Structure 1
């Protein structure tokens, strides 16, 4: 064997030994396993990134959205603000109910969907007067916090402009999800414009939080009122939204005939 041949064979042996060492350091030389592991890591990373992007998009679903105005009430009826309570309907209506609600509360949204039109019809027919208490109970439950209070303040300002019902119904018809982004002041102001509110005082009041302090004081009053507390089971009592009160008594809104019963009782 010549010297050149011996040198070439030695180099081949060194390359083979080096490859074996690398394979041992990697736990073996199964290339398919290495590729599979790398592919799995890439897939997991893609799923995580996709999940983060989807979560952020879902959380910010209201960003840049226009709040669609709800259809106006079928008939006009008197409406006025009394402090932080909005009174709708004729003064001499036989029945009066107090409705306590939060614009972010999903159960309040379901209540409006189930009974909102019926209540408006009874008000328009002169059979019912409604005292609406918009409460900022869930102010910390939006991201960022504050939507519950901002919406309540804007609704009271809309009442000053004679547009409470339309504003109220629009916010519930386009209700954001609890725990996610609500609507900004500018989006609330734009809704007002869509409903015909063009005064500078409305926009300024939304941005400044004109009724914020009064709304927070009203919430504390309501939370401390024993007549508004209910039994939630397991020895727990407290206040929750929505709550409807008629004649000083909390109404069982689980009864689908509750509204007719309230009016009939008031007339009897």
Structure 2
């Protein structure tokens, strides 16, 4: 009887061990199912978020962006900032295309900026400034030309009288090509030095005129002449043979034009006339 009892106890122990192992396996299977459910749920949530986000982006992309913001007093398709005499006054119209990352534009400003500002102050010419941004790719930030042009328009809208002072300061502090360019705080500091109000900061932060530069001004400049600086007087290109970089040359041309002597010596002309004037 003792042997039989001992044998039964051993069987019971084996059965208990088997039962414990069975419960462990069941618990492990439940744990794995729980983990699997959580993982699947998480993946599903992430997928739904991604799908919703993609759908929102597609929806936004399909919506019209609305009209391009333009400064007060300008027509929606006007591709330049106008200073000096009214365009219908009969005064000579000087058009200058510039990009704030363009080193040659800086040279043009150094040679002619003061003279142009004087003609504008006297309202003896109409000055149209065409802002380009095609050199964005020449800055590490990838958008210096656009940000600078937007700031210029913000300054113009704030007070047109400060526009050329700001332009001069920008070229006086022009970064080298390939650099990140000035940041927005540095640009705004120059705008303040030119006389701009605090409204210009919010205008810059809102990238208010980025689209105007990108969709109106820059395409117009590209269509007329895809280079900077580009200068024309009454619709005719001026400044060939590096004449535009000679201090006093543009002043002399405009003085002659204003005096009624529209000779070919440095005047508004085709490339051949500019070459003759520079010889």
Residue 191, structure 1, aligned to residue 190, structure 2: yes
Instruction: Give the C-alpha shift of residue 126 in structure 1.
Output: 3.2
Instruction: Give the C-alpha shift of residue 85 in structure 1.
Output: 1.9
The one-character-per-residue Cα deviations of 1:89-146 (angstroms, maximum 9, x if unpaired) are: 1223631101000111000000000111121222233322211112112111111211
| Contact in 1 for aligned 2:96/2:130 (Cα 8 Å) | yes
The one-character-per-residue Cα deviations of 1:222-255 (angstroms, maximum 9, x if unpaired) are: 22x2xx33xxxxxxxxx21000011211112533
The one-character-per-residue Cα deviations of 1:42-101 (angstroms, maximum 9, x if unpaired) are: xxxxxxxxxxxxxxxxxxxxxxxxxxxxxxxxxxxxxx8735522111223631101000
- Whole-Å separation in 1 of the counterparts to 2:235 and 2:166: 28
- Whole-Å separation in 2 of the counterparts to 1:190 and 1:125: 28
| Contact in 1 for aligned 2:85/2:91 (Cα 8 Å) | no
Structure-1 residue corresponding to 2:177? 178
- Whole-Å separation in 1 of the counterparts to 2:112 and 2:190: 23
TM-score by length of 2: 0.57
2:82 maps to which of 82, 87, 96? 87
Residue 140, structure 1, aligned to residue 132, structure 2: no
- Whole-Å separation in 1 of the counterparts to 2:73 and 2:231: 19
- Whole-Å separation in 1 of the counterparts to 2:189 and 2:126: 29
> Which stretch of the first structure deviates more once superposed, 186-195 or 97-106?
186-195
Residue 157, structure 1, aligned to residue 154, structure 2: yes
TM-score by length of 1: 0.60
Residue 123, structure 1, aligned to residue 120, structure 2: yes
Residue 251, structure 1, aligned to residue 249, structure 2: no
For structure 1, the 5+ residue unaligned runs are 1-79, 230-238
Q: Which runs of 4+ in 1 moved over 6 A?
A: none
- Whole-Å separation in 2 of the counterparts to 1:203 and 1:159: 13
Cα distance change, pair 264–183 in 1 and its aligned pair in 2 (3 A): same
The one-character-per-residue Cα deviations of 1:131-169 (angstroms, maximum 9, x if unpaired) are: 111211211111121111000000100011112122111
- Whole-Å separation in 2 of the counterparts to 1:182 and 1:90: 33
More strand by share: 1
Equivalent residues, number: 176
- Whole-Å separation in 2 of the counterparts to 1:170 and 1:81: 25
| Contact in 2 for aligned 1:94/1:263 (Cα 8 Å) | no
- Whole-Å separation in 1 of the counterparts to 2:255 and 2:122: 12
- Whole-Å separation in 1 of the counterparts to 2:93 and 2:255: 8
1:205 maps to which of 196, 203, 206? 203
More helix by share: 2
The structure number with the bigger radius of gyration is 2
